[in-house]
């Protein structure tokens, strides 16, 4: 979800204004996902690298996250949305982490859309952490290294409960994946748009999905094999 800062700069406002407007786009996309019957949406909300931003912007983002959790609790329950996180949430302010843990527990039994927030997230860190967990397990259990396979790696990722994404949407004209779900997007369809995230609405979301539906996903096979 990129372009909040540039959107605010165009209007001569502070970056946090762009983030606040971006929160409205989050609501629009979630509503669209519910209407379409989607099972999973993952939002790249705050990367590990974002901790290097100015402290006032970080504080504003954490306050916005805290406020949003409070405001959207009823909506999550109304639509049976399950909230999850991936990333190192121990890095978050204590009050924000506590709120997240409470609402994750509250929505755990919901059967609708699974909404995952990537917070303090890094794809490379996720893989490193998975490797450490696997090595530790194998050292303690005297297991054979040769037994390690893709499934074991997946089972030790932050996103172990989630399927690999089918579509990745990147806004604001940036054409890169920026350390997001590096293991999981091996066969994900990529969609790039020049639209800044605060301007990204339901119609933009539908357009991305329509583009996805036109694509042929071969997973290494030929088109003829899929017929």
In angstroms, the CA 2 to CA 196 distance is: 6
| Catalytic (active site) residue 50 | yes
3-state class of 180 per DSSP?
A: coil
What pLDDT shows up at residue 168? 98
Positive or negative torsion for Cα 54, 56, 60, 66: positive
- Could you state, in order of their start, the residue ranges of all structural domains in the chain? 4-121+165-226, 122-162
Span 103-107, average pLDDT: 97
Which one is catalytic: 2, 4, 156, 204? Answer: 2
Token duo for residue 99: 């709120």
Please name the residues in contact with 120: beta carbons below 8 A apart, sequence gap of 6 or more.
46, 47, 48, 50, 51, 87, 88, 89, 90, 91, 92
3-state class of 128 per DSSP?
A: helix
In angstroms, the CA 7 to CA 25 distance is: 13
| Catalytic (active site) residue 203 | no
What pLDDT shows up at residue 145? 86
pLDDT at 33 over 90: yes
Which one is catalytic: 28, 50, 125, 129? Answer: 50
Task: Dump pLDDT digits (tens) for 184-226.
Answer: 999 999 999 999 999 999 999 999 999 999 999 887 877 777 7
CATH 3.40.50.920, applies to 4-121+165-226: no
Task: Dump pLDDT digits (tens) for 174-190.
Answer: 999 999 999 999 999 99
pLDDT, the chain, mean: 95
């Amino acid at each position: 979800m990129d372009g909040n800062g540039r959107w605010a700069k165009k209007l001569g406002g502070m970056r946090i204004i762009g983030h606040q407007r971006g929160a409205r786009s989050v609501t629009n996309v979630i509503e669209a996902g519910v209407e379409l019957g989607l099972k999973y949406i993952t939002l790249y909300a705050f990367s590990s690298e974002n901790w290097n931003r100015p402290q006032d912007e970080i504080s504003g983002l954490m306050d916005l996250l805290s406020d949003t959790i409070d405001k959207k609790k009823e909506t999550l329950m109304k639509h049976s949305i399950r909230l999850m996180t991936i990333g190192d949430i121990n890095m978050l302010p204590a009050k924000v982490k506590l709120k997240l843990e409470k609402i994750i527990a509250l929505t755990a039994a919901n059967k609708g859309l699974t909404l995952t927030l990537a917070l303090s997230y890094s794809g490379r860190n996720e893989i490193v952490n998975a490797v450490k967990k696997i090595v530790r397990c194998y050292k303690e259990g005297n297991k054979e290294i040769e037994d390690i396979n893709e499934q074991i790696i997946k089972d030790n990722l932050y996103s172990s409960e989630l399927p690999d994404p089918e579509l990745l949407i990147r806004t604001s004209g940036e054409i890169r994946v920026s350390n997001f779900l590096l293991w999981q997007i091996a066969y994900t369809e990529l969609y790039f748009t020049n639209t800044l995230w605060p301007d990204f609405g339901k119609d933009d979301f539908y357009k991305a999905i329509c583009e996805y539906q036109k694509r042929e996903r071969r997973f290494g096979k030929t088109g003829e094999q899929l017929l």
